[in-house]
Chain A
């Protein structure tokens, strides 16, 4: 690895944690005031637990391309299933594995933050941390190995001539789709907030408490995404450092196109643009840009953003109204749907050398894997956890607010608290 690549990767990884800071602030703003401190506390603890579990065994399971792993032969071809590196970061001494571990530890934390938004206001802090431990130790490293660590999805090109194998520079799949589907599994398990649905199944709108926090979080997240997408592309997709400006442009254009589309759709449908859906549109654009940021032209990034921004309001409504999935942070629409769209977009828009016609199939196999393997796995893990420790807070905790119930103090002690209608 050249010194230039190392320097670029270090610079990008320095700002990448801002993506997590942005998501944490967005999640806090989209919840009610009585849960704000709990949301931020959960975010901090999630990042810490994810870092710990990734350090203990996550990195060992993720491995890295060319490292030790478990391989089986199927149909005469090697299928690399899981990394077999030493635990506790042992043997990580040279620049490339160190940088990959640094990226991985940030990515594991970011993945863990995604379900926090979906389970807001009724997910116990202890359960959040236990669920994050499973995510950072098993689910995330497994799919990250298949995507970035030389696993079977990256081997699809070599084994079956499916383009260059699964490509995902910044983590639309391993970070966002995995996090978003974990959010879906968690909301299925813990159920909706009290009072969210009437006895006829009609949803009640429960607005977030601070639009300023939400929109500021978008700006923080954007800075982090620039680092995340660029570092991922340099480390895992092996793009030249000279392409980093293109990655930054694509990231910004996708987010902008997506936010404007969400704003326009909500303006047409509700006569005024909706701030929280526009913010979710912005993040969905960032999410969708991640996989293909290094392989597409700027005009294509705009199209990816336009589609992501159109998907957000419709999937939020579909989940809320029809499927009765209560996701206060919009994590499923933004990260699962946006992430899967980003994975497929590489196959549609990716620009590769001649002979890469099978790229779309490789991306489809990755989407199939995340839906058919990762979703049942994460549901099973969280269901097991629910049986053991119970993931949902007790009724009085939900009525009182998670801040007072679990932390003993509110986020805004000097503010007058009014009784709300969602008891």
Chain B
């Protein structure tokens, strides 16, 4: 899950970069940019979730 979170972060950024390089229309570019940010937020949430300490390690 930890690695998946970081891969989602990276994928979101690549989506943003690809949108800039490949899409000429401003509207489509903005939509893909927002989609990329959404994927990144998902990855960030997963990264936080995966770093919660296991119960046996607490205390």
Contacts and interface: CB of A to CB of B under 8 A. Distances in A.
Contacts of B43: 372
Given A323-B48, A364-B37, A368-B33, A191 B9 contact: no
A207 interface: no
Q: How large is the interface on B (under 10, 10 to 19, 20 to 34, 35 or more residues)?
A: 20 to 34
Given A77-B21, A188-B51, 13 more contacts: A74-B21, A75-B22, A192-B53, A197-B58, A201-B55, A201-B58, A325-B48, A365-B20, A369-B16, A371-B12, A372-B43, A375-B6, A376-B6
Contacts of A201: 52-53, 55, 58
A352 interface: no
Interface in B19-59: 20-22, 29-30, 33, 36-37, 40, 43-44, 47-48, 51-53, 55, 57-59
A379 interface: yes
A90 to B, nearest CB: 32
A52 B29 CA distance: 41
Interface string A370-388: 0111011001100000000
A145 B13 CA distance: 18
A197 B12 CA distance: 33
Contact size range, A? 20 to 34
A406 interface: no
B14 A372 contact: yes
A369 B59 CA distance: 36
Contacts of A375: 6, 9, 44, 47
Interface of B: 6, 9-14, 16, 20-22, 29-30, 33, 36-37, 40, 43-44, 47-48, 51-53, 55, 57-59
Contact of B52 (A74, A159, A324): A324
Contact of A372 (B10, B48, B53, B59): B10
What are the 9 A-B residue pairs with the smallest beta carbon separation, nearest first?
A372-B13, A75-B21, A199-B59, A74-B21, A376-B6, A368-B16, A188-B51, A199-B58, A372-B9
A361 interface: yes
Contacts, number: 81
Interface in A128-176: 156, 159-160
A198 interface: yes
Contact of A364 (B11, B21, B33): B33
Contacts of B29: 160, 361
A371 B21 contact: no
Contacts of B10: 372-373, 376
Contact of B36 (A191, A200, A368, A379): A368
Contacts of B55: 199, 201
Nearest to A367: B37
A324 B14 CA distance: 29
B13 A379 contact: no
Nearest to A358: B26
Given A74-B21, A77-B21, A199-B55, A368 B40 contact: yes
A371 B44 contact: yes
A365 B33 contact: yes
Interface string A48-89: 000000000000000000000000001101010000000000
19 contacts: A75-B20, A160-B20, A195-B59, A199-B55, A323-B48, A323-B52, A365-B16, A365-B20, A365-B33, A368-B12, A368-B36, A371-B9, A372-B9, A372-B12, A372-B14, A372-B40, A375-B9, A376-B6, A376-B9
